[in-house]
Amino acid sequence: MPLPRTPALTADCVVVDRDRRVLMVRRKNPPFKHYLALPGGFVEIGEAVEDAARRELAEETGLDAMNLALVGVYSRPDRDPRGHVCSVAFLTNDARGDARAADDAAAVVWIKDFDGVEIAFDHREIITDALNLIR
């Protein structure tokens, strides 16, 4: 029996520092080229979602996440213009290393005030949910 056609799976990581700033990456590639986004990406075959979040964070920012807490699952079929992509989002306030842009991130920035900031996908919703967990 053939496998069913299913959505793609991604993992995103919300990194919050002690000043409640959120680490964002400026996207180097479409979709949402030049927009800010959470570090994250596609889960590889045979990889746990938590491991994918840690891997993507390290690849894009050079940071290592020590502890991850589940923020939520984001699965609206229209959340990604490439197709139906479900994302599992995690929160950490314990990321170690020096943040630097790498892989498909053009830059890394710490953001506290999101007014007027162009944010990719539904990452504004994910950030709001994550910050509500630590209030």
pLDDT at 1: 76
Specify if 39 maps to a domain. Answer: yes
Specify if 1 maps to a domain. Answer: no
Specify if 118 maps to a domain. Answer: yes
CATH code for the domain of 28: 3.90.79.10
Specify if 3 maps to a domain. Answer: no
Each residue's pLDDT, cut to its tens digit, for the chain (135 residues) gives 787 899 999 999 999 999 999 999 999 999 999 999 999 999 999 999 999 999 999 999 999 999 999 999 999 999 999 999 999 999 999 999 999 998 888 999 999 999 999 999 999 999 999 999 997
The residue behind tokens 């002690």 is 18
pLDDT at 32: 97
pLDDT at 135: 76
pLDDT at 117: 95
Domain count along the chain: 1
Specify if 2 maps to a domain. Answer: no
Specify if 125 maps to a domain. Answer: yes
Which domain does 14 fall in, by range?
Answer: 8-133
Radius of gyration of the CA atoms of the chain, in A: 14
